[in-house]
Amino acid sequence: MGHYARFGMFLLKQVAIILATFFGLILLTFVIGRVMPLDPVSAAVGPDVTQELYDQVYREMGLDQPIIVQFFDYVGSVLQFDFGRSFFTNQPVTRDIARVFPATLELALCGVLIGSLIGIPFGILAAVKRGTVIDGAVRVVMLIGYSAPVFWKGLLLLVVFYAALGWAGGPGRLSIYYDGLVPTRTGLLLIDTLLAGEWVIFKDAVSHIALPAISLGYGASAYIGRMTRSFMLDQLKQEYVGVARVKGLSERRVIFGHVLPNCAVQLVTTVALTFGILLEGAVLTETVFAWPGLGQYMTKAMFNADMNAVLGGTLVIGSIFVFLNLGSDILYRILDPRTRA
Amino acid sequence: MTDATLFTRVRRGEPHSSAEARLAQLWRGAEMLWASPAALTGVAIIAALVVVALLAPLLAPYGPYAQNLANQLQPPSAEHLLGTDEFGRDIFSRIIFGTRFTLYIVMLVALIAAPAGLLIGASSGYLGGWFDTLAMRITDIALAFPRLILALAFVTAFGPGLNNAILAIALTGWPPYVRIARAEALTIRRSDYIAAIELMGASRLRIILLHVVPLCLPSLFVRLTLDMAGVILIAAGLGFLGLGAQPPAAEWGVMLSSGKEYMLSAWWAATFPGLAIFFVCMGFNLLGDGLRDILDPRQES
Amino acid sequence: MTDAPLIDIENLRVTFRTRAGPHEALRGVSLRMGREKVGVVGESGSGKSLTGKALLGLVPSHAKVTADRLAFDGQDLMRMAPRALRRIRGRRIGLVMQDPKYCLNPVLSVGKQLCEAGLAGGIPTLAKARSSALETLRQVQINDPERVMRIYPHELSGGMAQRVMMAMMVVAEPDLLIADEPTSALDVTVQLEVLALLDRLIEARGMGLIFISHDLRLVSQFCDRVVVMYAGRVVETLRASELDRARHPYTRGLMECLPEIDHIPGTRLKVLERQESWLTE
């Protein structure tokens, strides 16, 4: 009873924080889009437009209104997922984002998968073998992983595995001749091709996503591995570890049965955070691999000074960050028995 | 007292005054740094960065902007150690001059973001009350934002360019410093010696600036060092996307960006600038980790 | 069961490598005991806890352990394979430490940790491990063992947690229990209760006990024999009833430092004066 009431309070508090954060995010994009540029209209549509279009946009953006009214209009439209019109695709930004986002999502998911599958085991290994050659080697490989720029890693992979060795598919999500052959259901090509039973196209999609996913996944595994190692080392110092050994448990049971469960909660948070970081990283990676996702869309929008598109993308990625934070806080609360009392 | 005895006291950690105590602490830190090959490597890389930046004109065999169109995209050779780019410029010389951009970016970001965060955090922790609540709420909100994306949005608003990119990075970088300064200020705030200064009638501003802020500096410095790797990566990313420094600047991100066009035929044009970014990042990461281990002995037993 | 003593330690030395050079934490400890209650007293750093850890083979890996003899029930622990050592730990020796708060795994339920100890200690099935866990909990005077099995360590009070700890360490019916300051982290009122329980548990199961403490008087009341340690070696071994016959100046010094009920106000307690010669003799 008390436990549920407390959990309810916790949820309420989280929701309040989320609302405040969203408000902050919207305010910030408003300031960036409407207040900071000397001329918001040119910021949105670029300098070379007819007076007619200029005036139309001026009214559409409500620039003849007081700034406070403009802000609430802006909040209202953002809440209805209306981010305005992109001037370089001439489409509503929302529709554009819905079109390009699955590609980015697929890439980031693959990256976080690779990052967890490699980072967590090697982080555990390094912590258990602390101070040995193995630990040193793992740490050096991880150091390289988070010190090297992601787009540089991507370029090197492209040169070696695509251009020189021909092991992987090149830029884009699919080879051109497979484009449009598979019906879109989830938007995630790896899943759509499987659903359609198109093995050959699935393999083609895998060979295309491999390199960008690896360049993201390497950095992710470095980050996750480093965190895993440090969580494990913290826990290995605790007395309950010695007690578990006194019980006569094997070292394997001590590590996987006692130490790892104590890190699980922090690991979930780390993986969630990493997913957010990868969405950002995708912006840089997509440029290298001509990956038709949100990152490439935003980059193009920036060059065309298409403010609505840029801010739309910022809002989407920012919102995902906010939800990831919320989600990991709630999971923390559910997974850790200490918070249940 | 002679210098020799002062030196022994400092070395043995038997200080006779607070200044000596601080010296002794520094000495111990330096000893620990010396004992850690990783941190030492970091120090060496960053020292090399600074030296190369200072002596760039002496070290570089060619000018960073000296074109030689007859000599485009030549592979590494005796004349051009790391090859030439699409305008026949010597990549080695450009990387050497690029250290100046890197230092400029890192120092400017540090100079804008850190003092702002420090001041807000120190005031927040010392003053407490509504100011603290408000400042921390805003900081928490800002911490929840994606940093690179926000920097991109800022640059779009400011327009591309090196200084705008630096401003954008600084604008997204302050929240961690607020957190750190506040945490330090909270512990200092209740100390007897602050109470003594308050009794002597010092103004709040004076206490914050002269007594709280200096004590926040060590942990702020560590955090700053650790962050520098991230700053370099973001700056390189902005340069790579064409939103930071603009061609023909010998900035590593820009070099990488223009080199990428020729990646399949002339791998060196993008590979070496990337390698430079990587090394400097690694240097800051190594030094930052080392400093953290020294200042936070809980981490290592 | 053999005729060999339960514990037979001769000239046990543990050396830590430190930055300032090797540090010898145990400098030739010898101890022989059967199924009796032996108290080990000494100040912090005298090596009393480390002796217990060495018996369990749980000395940190950067330390070097040597001994002329380190045997448990006639088996040489120094030459034992890790797997066999683990069996000894799980089935035949238990350890209760100072602060139960840190000794129980915070994310596993009490029941899970108890059953695990039983299973590792040779109880063949989970059902049997569970029933003996429940029984042992009752033995340490926990009235609602079913409920306690379900909850998590942070929901236990300090005294409860230490009783759970004791139950966990005896559930596999070991021959020897090492209790390392088992009451120092508890409230004074709870301390006596826990000690009485410990005593009853030892008597009922016929175990040997090594009781490590800095409290000479407590140890002398509780144990059959008292071993006094100073700076990594045993300086004196006495029957608890013959404490006043102590010869070593350190033991005598310790006893003189104890305040007495009929202490005359105004007179100062003696301060223990250490002599360099204790380190070498």
Q: What is the mean pLDDT of chain A?
A: 88
Would you place residue B177 in the very low, low, confident or very high pLDDT band (cuts 50, 70, 90)?
very high
The candidate with the shortest Cα–Cα distance to A261, out of A227, A226, A231, A225, is: A231
Question: Architecture of C7-279 per CATH?
Answer: 3-Layer(aba) Sandwich (3.40)
Confidence grade of residue C133 (pLDDT, cut at 50, 70, 90) = very high
Last residue of a domain, one of A28, A46, A79: A79
Examine the pLDDT at A232 and tell me if it is beyond 90: yes
The verdict on a CB contact (< 8 Å) between A155 and B152 is no
| Burial of A114 per CB tally in 10 Å (0-12, 13-18, 19+) | buried
The pLDDT of residue B243 is above 60? yes
Q: What are phi and psi of A175, to 5 degrees?
A: -65, 145
By Cβ distance, the residue of B148, B156, B241 closest to A287 is B241
When comparing pLDDT for A328 and B166, which is higher?
B166
Q: Do C99 and A340 touch (CB under 8 A)?
A: no
In this prediction, residue A219 carries a pLDDT of 94
Evaluate whether A265 touches A332 at the Cβ level (below 8 Å): yes
Q: How confident is the model at residue B67 (pLDDT cuts 50, 70, 90)?
A: confident
> CA of A239 to nearest chain C CA: how many angstroms apart?
5
ipTM of the complex: 0.87
Among C88, C104, C120, the residue with its CB nearest the CB of A240 is: C104
| DSSP at C72 | E
Integer Cα distance of C179 and A309 in angstroms: 68
* Facing residue for A262 by CB, picked from C107, C116, C168: C107
Q: How many CB atoms lie within 10 A of CB C66?
A: 13
pLDDT at C255 > cutoff 80: no
Task: Name the residue with tokens 């327009």.
Answer: B159
Helix (H) or strand (E) segment spanning residue C150? helix C145-150
Report the helix count and the strand count for chain B, using DSSP H and E.
Answer: 14, 0
**Better pLDDT: A205 or A2:** A205
Residue in B with minimal Cα distance to A33: B157
Q: In angstroms, rounded to a whole number, what is the distance separating the alpha carbons of residues A185 and C38?
A: 74
Average pLDDT rounded to a whole number, residues A294-311:
88
Beta carbon pairs, A and B, within 8 Å: 128
Task: Place C40 in a pLDDT band, splitting at 50, 70 and 90.
Answer: very high
Could you tell me which chain A residue has the CA closest to the CA of B264? Answer: A159
Q: Is the model's pLDDT at B54 over the cut of 90?
A: yes
Instruction: Please say if the pLDDT value at position B195 is more than 80.
Output: yes
Do A11 and A138 lie in a common domain? no
CB contact under 8 A, B157 and A36: yes
What is the pLDDT at residue B299? 42
| Most confidently modeled range among B42-56, B73-87, C158-172 | B42-56
Q: Measured between CB atoms, does A324 come within 8 Å of chain B?
A: no
Percent of chain B with pLDDT over 90: 36
List, for residues A236-281, the tens digit of each pLDDT value.
989 999 999 999 899 999 999 999 999 988 899 899 989 988 988 8
Q: Give burial (CB, 10 Å; 0-12/13-18/19+) of C152.
A: buried
For helices B91-127 and B175-189, angle between their N-to-C axes, nearest 10 degrees: 40
Asked if the Cβ–Cβ distance from C106 to A262 is below 8 Å, we say yes
CB A144 within 8 A of CB B282: yes
**Are A72 and A107 contained in the same domain?**
no
Alpha-carbon distance of B103 to A101, in angstroms, equals 36
Assess if residue A103 is contained within a domain. yes
Element (H, E) at A176: none
Per-residue pLDDT band for B301 (boundaries 50, 70, 90) equals very low
| Inside any domain, residue A117 | yes
A28 touches chain B (CB under 8 A): yes
Structure tokens at B187: 């512990």
Residue B118: name the closest of B206, B204, B191, B212 by CA. B212
> In whole angstroms, what is the distance from residue C37 CA to residue C43 CA?
20
8 A C-beta contact, residue B217 and residue B117: no
- Can you give the pTM of this predicted structure? 0.87
Number of H helices, E strands in chain C: 11, 11
Tell whether A264 is within 8 A of chain B (Cβ).
no
Same-domain check for residues A191 and A163:
yes
Same domain, A44 and A159: no
Is residue A88, in this structure, part of any structural domain at all? no
Q: How confident is the model at residue C263 (pLDDT cuts 50, 70, 90)?
A: low
- pLDDT tens track for B145-156: 888 888 988 988
- Chain B residues with CB under 8 Å of A305 CB are 156
User: For chain C, what's the residue count?
Assistant: 281
Shortest distance between the Cα of C273 and any Cα of chain A, in A, equals 34
DSSP-derived secondary structure for A18-79: HHHHHHHHHHHHHIIIIISSS-HHHHHH-S---HHHHHHHHHHTTTTS-HHHHHHHHHHHHH
Q: Where are the domains of chain C?
A: 7-279
B270: which chain A residues are within 8 Å (Cβ-Cβ)?
Answer: 152, 155
Which string of DSSP letters, residue by residue, matches C8-63? Answer: EEEEEEEEEEETTEEEEEEEEEEEEE-SSEEEEE--TTSSHHHHHHHHHT---TTE
Report percent pLDDT > 70 for chain B: 96
Note the pLDDT of residue B118. Answer: 92
Can you tell me the mean pLDDT for C81-106?
88
Q: Which of A27-41, B16-30, C135-149 has the lowest mean pLDDT?
A: B16-30
| Phi then psi dihedrals of residue B72, to 5 deg | -70, 145
- Give the model's confidence band at B1: pLDDT under 50 very low, under 70 low, under 90 confident, else very high: very low
Domain boundaries, chain B: 54-295
Q: Which of A17, A47, A79 is the last residue of a domain?
A: A79
Residues in CB range of C94: below 8 A, 6 or more apart: A246, C169, C170, C172, C174, C176, C177, C178
pLDDT value for A302: 85
**Which residue of B243, B260, B286 is in closest CB contact with A302?**
B243
* Residue A89, domain member (yes or no): no
Residue of C nearest to A237 (CA): C102
Q: Are residues A195 and A292 in the same domain?
A: yes
Question: Vertex C231, ends C227 and C235: CA angle to 5°?
Answer: 35
Provide the token pair at A281.
Answer: 């990283």
pLDDT bracket for residue C260 (50, 70, 90): low
Mean pLDDT rounded to a whole number for chain B: 86
Lowest mean pLDDT segment, chosen from A1-5, A215-219, C127-131, C134-138:
A1-5
Nearest to A107 by CA among A150, A164, A48: A150
Of the listed ranges A66-70, A206-210, C66-70, C249-253, the one predicted with least confidence: C249-253
> Does position C3 have pLDDT exceeding 80, yes or no?
no
* Pair (A289, A148) in one structural domain: yes
Q: Is the pLDDT of residue C89 over 90?
A: no
Q: Could C102 and A239 be called an inter-chain contact, meaning their C-beta atoms sit closer than 8 Å?
A: yes
Q: Which of A20, A24, A317 lies nearest to residue B146, judging by beta carbons? A: A317
Residue among B140, B285, B301 whose CB faces A143 most closely? B285
More confident site: A116 or C199? A116
Query: pLDDT digits over A174-185, tens only?
Result: 887 887 778 888
Give the pLDDT mean for B109-118.
93
Contact check, Cβ <8 Å, B241/A284: yes
The predicted model gives C16-31 an average pLDDT of 85
Residue B300 has pLDDT above 50, yes or no: no
As a residue count, chain A comes to 341
Neighbours of chain A (3+ CB pairs under 8 A): B, C
Q: What is the pLDDT of residue B253?
A: 93
Spatial distance between the Cα atoms of B197 and C242, rounded to a whole number of angstroms? 60
Residue A35 in this model has a pLDDT that exceeds 60:
yes
Domain count of the fold of chain A: 2
Residue C86 forms contact with A (CB below 8 Å): yes
DSSP string, A69-120: HHHHHHHHHHHTT---EETTTTEEHHHHHHHHHHHHHHHHHHHHHHHHHHHH
For the cut 70, the answer to whether the pLDDT of residue C261 exceeds it is: no
pLDDT of residue C79: 86
Its domain, for residue A146, covers: 97-340
Q: How confident is the model at residue B296 (pLDDT cuts 50, 70, 90)?
A: low
Domain termination site, one of A45, A79, A113: A79
CATH number of B54-295: 1.10.3720.10
Whether the pLDDT of residue B222 is over 90: the answer is no
Given a cut of 90, whether residue C146 has pLDDT beyond it is yes
* Confidence label for C137 from pLDDT (cuts 50, 70 and 90): very high
The mean pLDDT of A38-60, rounded to a whole number, is: 76
- Are the beta carbons of B55 and B61 closer than 8 angstroms? no
A149 Cβ neighbours under 8 A, 6+ residues apart: A284, B233, B236, B237, B240, B256, B274, B277, B278, B281
User: Would you say residue B12 has pLDDT above 60?
Assistant: yes
Q: How confident is the model at residue C259 (pLDDT cuts 50, 70, 90)?
A: low
